[in-house]
Amino acid sequence: MAAALSPPPAAGPRWPGWLVLSASAAVGVLVVFTVWRYPGVLHDPAAPVFLALLGAVMAVYIGCAGWSVRHPRAGGSSGVLIGTVAGAMWSVEIWAGGPAKFSRTVEQSVGGAFVLLAVASTLAAGICVGLRDDDRGSAVRAGLFAGLSSGVVVFLVATTMTLATLPTLASRSDYQQQYSSSHATDIDTFLTGDILAAVTAHLVINLSLGMLGAALGAFIASRRGAPGTSTTPPALP
């Protein structure tokens, strides 16, 4: 019996890939500037591990974005839009826990709320596209780009925010206490190294959340009729 042919994958725009590539380049520039401005961060015993992890993760980001530019498919644009919103929410959480200088109760309330919103948004990208398109590939790409875009947004925004508010951050008693038990030469170097480590971790966390949403979206799409299945009856011999 002749089986019906599967439809080709839906094409998509190239701009999501180019956007993540551009943001990844900006991450590299920002890291170079930050290390040049505060070279003491490289004297931290954990600096080699941080730099190795950052290099490996950014290679993944650039590789995924570059592949999307060469092979554009549906799903990436939705992922970038949702991921950007999620990245902004993560940034609000970091602001609330740092330069905002809220009271402890307000800080925990605002920070906790935006963490939940950021996690839910990142997970939702793949799930929503899987529900909308019944396409496993689109759901995976949406989740992937939600993770990629939220990761680079947090890195760029949180690092820039820290560099711009160092005097405010240095006036916090909790950071002063953490600095006193560190090996940093001054509190600005301590704060800079701390945020670089935090946003590097976010690159991994956000991408992992995006891929979890991608897996859930692909599962939903497969249950509802994934690409590769056809509702057309097979041709009779």
**What is the overall mean pLDDT for the chain?**
88
Average pLDDT estimate for 6-23: 80
Average pLDDT estimate for 193-211: 95
pLDDT-derived band at 10 (thresholds 50, 70, 90) equals low
Whether pLDDT at 4 is above 60: no
pLDDT digits (tens, 9 = 90+) for 42-84: 988 888 888 999 999 999 999 999 999 998 888 889 999 999 9
pLDDT-derived band at 187 (thresholds 50, 70, 90) equals very high
- pLDDT for position 88: 96
Whether pLDDT at 219 is above 70: yes
- pLDDT for position 221: 85
- pLDDT for position 161: 97
- pLDDT for position 123: 95
Q: What's the whole-model pTM score? A: 0.88
SS (H, E, C) the chain: CECCCCCCCCECCCHHHHHHHHHHHHHHHHHHHHHHHCHHHHHCCCHHHHHHHHHHHHHHHHHHHHHHHHCCECCHHHHHHHHHHHHHHHHHHHHHCCCCCCCHHHHHHHHHHHHHHHHHHHHHHHHHHHHHHCCHHHHHHHHHHHHHHHHHHHHHHHHHHHHHCHHHHHCCHHHHHHHHCCCCCCHHHHHHHHHHHHHHHHHHHHHHHHHHHHHHHHHHHHHHHCCCCCCCCCECC
Could you state, in order of their start, the residue ranges of all structural domains in the chain? 15-225
Whether pLDDT at 223 is above 90: no
